[in-house]
């Protein structure tokens, strides 16, 4: 199966111009079987009231689920999962909010989205989350993701984690799941990448090729893609 994770920058390209067709074209060219999206706007005024998860899913013939993190600009903002295969169930798991005294720059509530997908090789749990920028937020997000993991289904966890590979905050996830890349490829920013902050983790039931990026300025992040199979 082809797995893709992409922070779509609320539908804006590297020059901060709204260009939803460009995002859709990147997904369409890649033809992923399962795709996680971060920074997804739903019915907000700045995207003309469009539901980006629906538009990107329907454009590419994929089922979709959206997971709200916050209300903003007259609509909602969060994560989405697209799938070529049936999505059997989904849930949104909020990351516990920090007390006001721990909230630092650009703090915002976060949430993880989980879907169970019926693939030709069996059911797979797919989780995505967009971590915050500060250590306390990231720690809370890691604890949330670890609490969602179990051994009942093969699992994919992916998203923009806003931490680099050597950050010890990721160790509890690494103890349960395998990172499909080391310190490369670099994923941010799209025009001149200088760090890896976008990830695809897989449970040990999977074998996978190396993580790859795709060169595009449709967002401020590069999409990451991996080919994987069960067994």
Q: What is the DSSP string of 78-145?
A: EEEEEESS-EEEEEEEEPPPPPGGG--TT----EEEEEEEEETTEEEEEEEE---SSHHHHHHHHHHH
What does the pLDDT average to over 110-138?
97
Domain count of the chain?
Answer: 1
The pLDDT, as a whole number, for residue 104 is: 87
Percentage of the chain modeled with pLDDT above 70: 100
Residue for token digits 């971060």? Answer: 38
Per-residue pLDDT of 65-76, as tens digits, reads: 999 999 999 999
Strand partners, 178: 202
What does the pLDDT average to over 216-230?
97
| Residue 102 banded pLDDT, cuts 50, 70, 90 | confident
**What's the domain range around 154?**
2-230
The pLDDT, as a whole number, for residue 173 is: 98
pLDDT score of 182 more than 90: no
| Residue 84 banded pLDDT, cuts 50, 70, 90 | very high
Show the CA angle centred on residue 105, arms to residues 100 and 224, nearest 5°.
Answer: 120
CATH, residue 93: 3.60.10.10
Q: Comparing C-alpha atoms, which of 212, 4, 34 is closest to residue 121?
A: 34
CA distance 57 to 37: 11
Q: How many residues does the chain have?
A: 231
The pLDDT, as a whole number, for residue 65 is: 98
125 or 106, which is more confident = 125
pLDDT score of 154 more than 90: yes
Per-residue pLDDT of 27-83, as tens digits, reads: 999 999 999 999 999 999 999 999 999 999 999 999 999 999 999 999 999 999 999
What does the pLDDT average to over 151-166?
97
What does the pLDDT average to over 127-131?
98
| Residue 211 banded pLDDT, cuts 50, 70, 90 | very high
pLDDT score of 213 more than 90: yes
What does the pLDDT average to over 100-105?
87
What does the pLDDT average to over 82-86?
98
| Residue 221 banded pLDDT, cuts 50, 70, 90 | very high
């Amino acid at each position: 199966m082809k797995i893709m994770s992409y922070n779509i920058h609320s539908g804006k390209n590297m020059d901060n111009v709204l260009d939803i067709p460009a995002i859709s074209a990147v997904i369409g060219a890649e033809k992923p079987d399962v795709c996680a999206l971060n920074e997804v706007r739903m019915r907000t005024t700045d995207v003309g009231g469009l539901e980006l998860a629906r538009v990107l899913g329907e454009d590419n013939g994929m089922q979709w689920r959206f997971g709200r993190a916050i209300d903003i600009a007259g609509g909602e903002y969060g994560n989405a999962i697209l799938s070529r295969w049936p999505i059997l169930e989904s849930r949104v798991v909020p990351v516990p909010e920090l007390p006001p005294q721990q909230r630092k720059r650009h703090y915002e509530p976060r949430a993880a989205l989980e879907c169970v997908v019926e693939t030709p090789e069996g059911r797979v749990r797919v989780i995505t989350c967009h971590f915050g920028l500060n250590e306390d937020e990231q720690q809370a997000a890691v604890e949330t993701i670890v609490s969602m993991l179990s051994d009942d289904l093969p699992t994919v966890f992916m998203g923009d984690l806003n931490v680099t590979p050597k950050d010890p905050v990721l160790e509890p996830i690494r103890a349960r799941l395998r990172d499909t890349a080391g310190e490369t490829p670099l994923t941010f920013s799209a025009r001149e990448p200088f760090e890896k902050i976008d990830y695809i983790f897989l449970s040990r039931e999977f074998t996978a090729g190396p993580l790859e990026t795709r060169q595009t300025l449709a967002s401020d992040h590069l999409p990451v893609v991996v080919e994987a199979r069960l067994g």
